[in-house]
Structure 1
Amino acid sequence: MNIIVLVIIAVTCIISYMGLNNIQLFEKYKFNINAINSKKEYIRLVSSAFLHADFMHLFFNMLSLYFFQGVVIHFFGSIGFLIIYFGSMILGNLFSLLIYKNQPWYSAIGASGAVSGIIFASIAMAPNEISVNFLPGWLFGTLYFGYSVYMMLNPKQWDNLGHSAHLGGAFFGLVFSIAMHPDLAINNFLYLGIMSLPLLYLSYEIFVKKKIG
C-alpha cells in the first residue's frame, strides 16, 4: 500500500479513536452548520472527515478506501490521490453546507465525501479490475451510494453520518478523472452511469422536490 494512503488511514483511525473517547474533541471538530457559518470554524470542513460515529463506520470507510486506492494511485499518482481525497472531502462538506444552510443544528462526521471521490475516480478508470467481497467494484460502488442516499432521505435520530457529502465528493472524483483521462472515463461511461443512479435520484429529491434543506 502507498505510504500516503497508509498515513491517512492511520491518522484517521487515531483521531477517530480519540474522538470516540473525548466528547469535547468530537464536538469541537465535527461538521456543524452553525459553527461554520456563524463562528467561521472552517477547519471543520476537513477535521470532521477524521472523526467517525463508531468503529463499524470507521472500518467501512477505511476498508472502502483500501480497496479503491490502488487504482487511483496507479492512474493519478500520489499527488493526484491527495487532490482527489481532500478535494472530494472539502467539496462534499461544502455541498452539505449548502443544502443544510437553513438547519443550524445539522452535524455530521466521517470520511464519506473523500472516499466517494476515490471510489468514483477508480471506477472511471477500471470498473472491473476491482473486487470487493466477490462483487465487482462498480456494483459495490452502486450499493455504497444506494445505502447512503436511502439513509439521507430517511434520516434516523441516531444517525450522525455525513451521507450528503457523498454527492459532492463523488462529483469531484468524477470530474477530476474525466479531466485527467477523458478517454478511459468515456469508455467506462456505462458503469459510471449505473453507479450514478442513486446520486441522480438524490439530486432530484434535493433540487426538484426540495425534500432536503
Structure 2
Amino acid sequence: MDNIALYLLIGVNAIISFKGFEDQYFFNKYKFNVGAIRAGEQIRMVSSGFLHADIGHLAFNMITLYFFAPIVAQSLGVFPFLLIYFASLVCGSLLTMMFHGNDNSYSAVGASGAVTGVLYSAILMYPEMTLGIFGIIPMPAYLFGIGYLLYSIYGMRAKRDNIGHTAHIGGAIGGYVITLLKVPSLLQDNLLMVILLAIPIVLLFVLAKAGKL
C-alpha cells in the first residue's frame, strides 16, 4: 500500500505535467496565479502542485519524493503520509498568497511545497540520518533541513530566480506541524531538534514582521 500511494502520486504528477508541457492553455488554466485565485479560481492552489515547468523540475521533485515518502509512510502510515503531502501543498499555496497576494501577476508551478513537507517530516522524525548532498557530500539531515529553509528565505529576499521559495517554507510548516500532531512524543524525546528545525520558520515571520521580506 505504501508503494502504491507513492507510485500513484508520481504517476499523476507525470501525467498532468506532461499534459501541461504539450498544452499551454491547460498549463495556464491550472498554474498558480494570484490574480486568478483572487478572482475565485481556488482550484489553482492545488492543481498547480501537479504541474511542472519542465522535465528537470518534475524529475527533481519526484526523485526527492521517491526517497523520502517511504520513510514517512512506513513511520506514520499511508493516510497520514497522504495528509502531509496534500496539506503541505495547500500550506505552500497559502503562504505564497500571504506573501505575494498583492501581486496579481505572480505565478508558480510545482510539487515543491508538498515534497518539502514530506522531506521535513522525515527529517523531524529522523534528524540524525545522513543525507548525501549531490550524492557524495554526507550531511546530517537536520543541518540540511535548516540550511534548505534558510536558503529559501534568502531566495525570497533576493528575488533573483523563478523558484517558488515561499511554497517550500509553507510546505515545510505543514509537514512540521502535522508530524508533531501525529508524534507528540518528539517534543519529549528530541525537543532540541524540534526547536532547531523551527528556527528558520520563526525567522521567516520575524523578518516579515520587520519588513525585511
Give the TM interval when normalised to the shorter protein.
Answer: 0.7 to 0.9
2:43 is matched by which residue type in structure 1?
I
2:140 to 136, 139, 146: 136
Q: Work out the CA distance in 2 between the residues paired with 1:210 and 1:143.
A: 19
Q: Superposition RMSD on alpha carbons, in Å?
A: 2.1
Aligned-pair CA distance for 1:79: 0.4
TM-score w.r.t. the length of structure 2 is 0.87
Q: Secondary structure of 1:164's partner? A: helix
* Residue 167 of structure 1: aligned partner: 169
* Residue 77 of structure 1: aligned partner: 77
The 3 A distance-change label for structure 1 pair 46 and 175 is same
* Residue 124 of structure 2: aligned partner: 124
The 3 A distance-change label for structure 1 pair 205 and 32 is same
**Post-superposition CA distance 1:139-162 (Å, at most 9, x none):** 332333233222222113x51x32
Aligned-pair CA distance for 1:185: 4.7
2:119 is matched by which residue type in structure 1?
I
Q: Work out the CA distance in 2 between the residues paired with 1:195 and 1:174.
A: 8
Q: Secondary structure of 1:74's partner? A: helix
Say whether the 8 Å CA contact 1:33–1:97 is kept in structure 2. Answer: yes
Q: Work out the CA distance in 2 between the residues paired with 1:199 and 1:121.
A: 14
1:187 to 186, 189, 195: 189
**Post-superposition CA distance 1:53-91 (Å, at most 9, x none):** 222322222222122212211221110011100011112
Q: Work out the CA distance in 2 between the residues paired with 1:106 and 1:194.
A: 31
- Give structure 1 stretches of 5+ with no counterpart: none
TM-score w.r.t. the length of structure 1 is 0.87
* Residue 151 of structure 1: aligned partner: 155
1:13 is matched by which residue type in structure 2?
A
- How many residue pairs were aligned? 208
Aligned-pair CA distance for 1:202: 2.6
Q: Work out the CA distance in 1 between the residues paired with 2:131 and 2:157.
A: 28
Q: Secondary structure of 1:41's partner? A: coil
Question: What does 1:24-39 align with in structure 2 at a 5 Å threshold?
Answer: 24-38=25-39
* Residue 12 of structure 1: aligned partner: 13
Q: Secondary structure of 1:2's partner? A: helix
Say whether the 8 Å CA contact 2:124–2:142 is kept in structure 1. Answer: no
Q: Work out the CA distance in 1 between the residues paired with 2:62 and 2:195.
A: 25
Say whether the 8 Å CA contact 1:117–1:170 is kept in structure 2. Answer: yes
In percent, how many aligned pairs have the same letter?
A: 41
Q: Work out the CA distance in 1 between the residues paired with 2:206 and 2:100.
A: 16
Q: Work out the CA distance in 2 between the residues paired with 1:54 and 1:142.
A: 27
* Residue 103 of structure 2: aligned partner: 103
82-91 or 133-142: which moved more? 133-142
Say whether the 8 Å CA contact 2:131–2:139 is kept in structure 1. Answer: yes
Q: Work out the CA distance in 1 between the residues paired with 2:30 and 2:129.
A: 37
Q: Work out the CA distance in 2 between the residues paired with 1:112 and 1:193.
A: 23
Moved over 4 A (4+): none
Q: Work out the CA distance in 2 between the residues paired with 1:191 and 1:174.
A: 12
Q: Work out the CA distance in 2 between the residues paired with 1:146 and 1:179.
A: 24
Aligned-pair CA distance for 1:24: 1.2
